[in-house]
Structure 1
Amino acid sequence: MSKAGEFTMYESTARPFQIQIRTQPYVHNNRTYNVICAAAVQESNDVIVVDMCHVSHSTTPLKVIFPNGKLSAGTIVSRSLSYMSPVVNITFSSGAFVTVKAYETFLVIFAHSAKEDFNATRGLCGIFDGNIDNDLTRPNLHVDLFPPNFQDPFADSWRIPQWLSIFHKFGIRKRNTKGKYENIVPDH
């Protein structure tokens, strides 16, 4: 992705389900990469944010936040370790589930669709219809070619405006231009 920010990773067009990601710069061997540091997952009124954007990677654990408070009876969030890396599993009553695995400086997110989402998704993960030729479809329905160049407009086309950001809506902190973290105050 060309610039750090917030992006639509996966969104169902058939039901209220989405995964948004937040990226931030990470410097390694004098090269700067943008890595995923937070994921916000929402199904209906259940919102779960897995956040490591703010952490000191050597000492602070991964944060799991429930901005709406209590979750629906069918939503289950569990934590575990896999090869010494923290893992958060989120299971919804729809059958969709999301696994977030934290490494020292970034998150890896695995999204598993509910059956209702077949032929009804969009975002960086593509269209879930079994056709790999349309997976790089932008919101304006332009289809980019494989292999993707994530420095191109495809990734930026899924950048989330602040007013649609789950992170912004619930006041999840983000890094300011001086590298410090500040609370985002939701609009009222």
Structure 2
Amino acid sequence: MPNLVGNRFEIEGSAAALEQFVSRSCLALKDGSIAIDLERVIPLPKSLADDELRRWRGDNWGTSYSQDFETIERTSTRLVLQFWTPWSPPFGIYRALATRHPDLHLLAEAAEDGGNETAYCFIAKDGAFSESEPELTDEFISHVTGYPPGDVEFDPVQFAALKPSRPSLLARIRKALADMFGGRQ
């Protein structure tokens, strides 16, 4: 099972620019949340064999997939999303979005406090962007993932209790626990 990276993505701009971003790069989910469609941002080549797709996604998107999107805030000029990716943030996606939407201000932050110990910050404005690796602190992890400060160790049961609006994550956690304990919970 991969280490999951928490991502927080803030998008700001005019109402027209933000609506164009949502219509060109996102999908509306049944619960009213917005999810970035990685394939809409950087389409998969049709010529790749199945075994080549994972490597291509890593090389071009920065990650294999995204999951468990939650809309934290949505106004006519601001959108804040939280989501998870395996192993690393979607670097390539953030870069492509900065190029495609130079009239938006983008701030992406990512944290993984497991084996990889990743902290990442991406800022884009006026078509230019910068990337950095901030210090991985409890406060940064809490800001990005929604965990309470000082409680950043991944506890599937506690996490599921904190995020009850994420049934797909809860189902995966229950399955992982069942697999770990031979069907006992």
TM-score (norm 1): 0.35
**Which of 1 and 2 has higher RCO (CA within 8 Å, sep 6+)?**
2
TM-score (norm 2): 0.35
